[in-house]
Amino acid sequence: MEAIFKRRSVRKFQDKPISEEQIKQIVKAAMAAPSAGGARHWHFVVLKDKNLKATIAKRYPNIAPLATAPAGILICADTKLEVYPGFWPLDCAAATQNALLAATELGLGSVWCAVYPDQQKMNGIKDLLGLPESVQPFSIIPLGYPAEHVEPEDRFDPERIHYDKW
Ligand SMILES: Cc1cc2nc3c(=O)[nH]c(=O)nc-3n(C[C@H](O)[C@H](O)[C@H](O)COP(=O)(O)O)c2cc1C
């Protein structure tokens, strides 16, 4: 509950590396997510190369936070392994949220940067990272020690809750 309510999008990062262990923990949390039919068809591309991160950040303004992040993770799905066709983006979304929460718990900043559903962006990322044909990119999560503090927000709204009937 602490990580859920503390998590905010962080888009500026300190020039300080994060460890392999931290990356592993975050990927492990992502892999613990639910998936339709238990397909678990996700793959994770860890982005560490400075030039590659800068290229992605420059080409796609919505992924600009990757420029200052010491690492990033591309979450993607191998659609060949789908159990229920069409569910892969939902599975990747669940994995993305788990990764964001794990990063928060580890004291790291993170932000969900969309690749899916922009087909042009998906093709561009696919080419850049050499993803196989059946693998679809979903989100990129820049990761690092925060260089900005984003205050938690109480977003609870009882008016959005309906009991038994709208
Ligand atoms: C599906 C989805 C796509 C998003 N895409 C981007 C994005 O491409 N770039 C970005 O900087 N933030 C992106 N965000 C982060 C949202 O802007 C952010 O979650 C929202 O403004 C609420 O702020 P918070 O994350 O601090 O609670 C995305 C969030 C979601 C759930």
Could you tell me the residue ranges of all domains in the chain? 12-148
* Residue of 128, 133, 161, 107 whose CA lies nearest to 53: 128
From atom 15 of ligand 1, which residue's Cα is the shortest distance away?
112
The CATH superfamily holding the domain 12-148 is NADH Oxidase (3.40.109.10)
CA angle in degrees (0–180, nearest 5) for 116-111-31:
70
18 C-alpha vs ligand 1 centroid, how far in Å? 22
Q: Mean of the per-residue pLDDT values for the chain?
A: 98
CA of 10 to the centre of ligand 1 (A): 10
pLDDT at 121: 98
- Identify the residue whose C-alpha is closest to ligand 1 atom 8: 113
Which one of 7, 91, 113, 116 would you pick to mutate in the ligand 1 pocket, going by the greatest count of ligand atoms within 8 A of its CB?
A: 113
Pocket of ligand 1 (CB under 6 A): 8-9, 11, 62, 65, 111-114, 150
> Is the full-model pTM beyond 0.95?
yes
Percent of all residues in the chain with a pLDDT value above 90, rounded to a whole number = 100
Q: What is the pLDDT of residues 73-117, one digit of tens each?
A: 999 999 999 999 999 999 999 999 999 999 999 999 999 999 999
Q: What is the pLDDT of residues 106-150, one digit of tens each?
A: 999 999 999 999 999 999 999 999 999 999 999 999 999 999 999
